[in-house]
Amino acid sequence: MSEVSDPIFAKIAAQYDRVNRVLSFGQERKWRAFGIRQLSQGSVLDLGCGTGDTDFEGRTVIGIDPVIEMLALSPVVAKAGAVGEALPFRDASFDAVFSAYVFRNLTSVDATLEEMHRVLKPGAAAVVIGLSRPINPVLRFIHRVGTAIVLPLVGLVFARAPKEYWYLHKSLDTLPPPERLFVGRRLDYETHWRNGVFGFVYGVRLRKPE
C-alpha cells in the first residue's frame, strides 16, 4: 500500500466509517452493495478491507489490509495484514476480488493489478470502487475547490483530523480517470459506472480471461 497513507488511516480508523457516511450523504453502503452484485458467488478477496464494513451476501471472505488499526475493528474472521502489491495467496485462489476506495492509496497500481490477475481463477471477476475527479475540466476545477474546503472541514468536525482529510483531497489527483486507468490490462476492462455525488464515485468490473 503506501507509507504515506497507512499512518493516516491508522489515526482515523475509529471514525472512518462514520465520516464516510457523512461524505457520501449515506450512499456509501449502496455503492459497495452494487459492486458486490457484480461478482459471482464463492470465495472473495477483500483487498484493502479496512474495518470490514461490507456485506458480501453470504460469500466466503478473506480480508487483507496493511493498517492493523483498521483490521482490529473488522468483524471478518479470516483477515491478515498484507498489501495488494504482494498478495500472500497461491495462484487462482479466488472466485472474485473486491476493492473499495483503495487504489488511490496504492504504491503501485500495476503491481496490484498483476497480483489480482494472479490470484483470480480463470474467468473470475474483480470489482474496484474508487473516487476520482470529474472528466470535464470545468467540473474538475469546481470539484477540486470543493474538496479542498469540505474534506478538511468534515475531518475536523467528525474526526478531529483535518490534515488527514486534506490528504484525501490531494489523493484524488494521484490517478487518471477509470476510463484510462484500467484499459489495456491483463484483466479485461468490462464495465464502469459513475455516480456524481460530491465524492465522485466510479465502479469498474474487470475479468480474468478463461
Q: Give the Cα separation of 155 and 170 in Å (integer).
A: 14
Model confidence, pTM: 0.91
Asked if 204 and 34 touch (Cβ cutoff 8 Å), the reply is: no
Q: Is residue 73 part of a domain?
A: yes
Within a domain: 196: yes
pLDDT 10s digits, 157-188 = 988 888 888 988 999 999 998 989 999 999 99
- What b/e string do you get for 22-60 counting C-beta neighbours within 10 Å, with b at 16 or more? ebbeeebeebbeebbebbeeebbbbbbbbbbbbebeebe
Domain region containing 46: 5-134+174-207
Number of domains in the chain: 1
The reply to whether 179 falls in a domain is: yes
User: Residue 197: what pLDDT?
Assistant: 59
Q: What is the CATH number of the domain that holds 16?
A: 3.40.50.150
Q: Position of cell 488499526? A: 69
Which pLDDT score, from 0 to 100, does residue 160 have? 84
Considering just the CA atoms, what is the radius of gyration of the chain in Å?
16
Over pLDDT 90: what percentage of the chain?
Answer: 68
Mean pLDDT of 26-53: 94
Q: How confident is the model at residue 24 (pLDDT cuts 50, 70, 90)?
A: confident
Average pLDDT over residues 121-146: 92
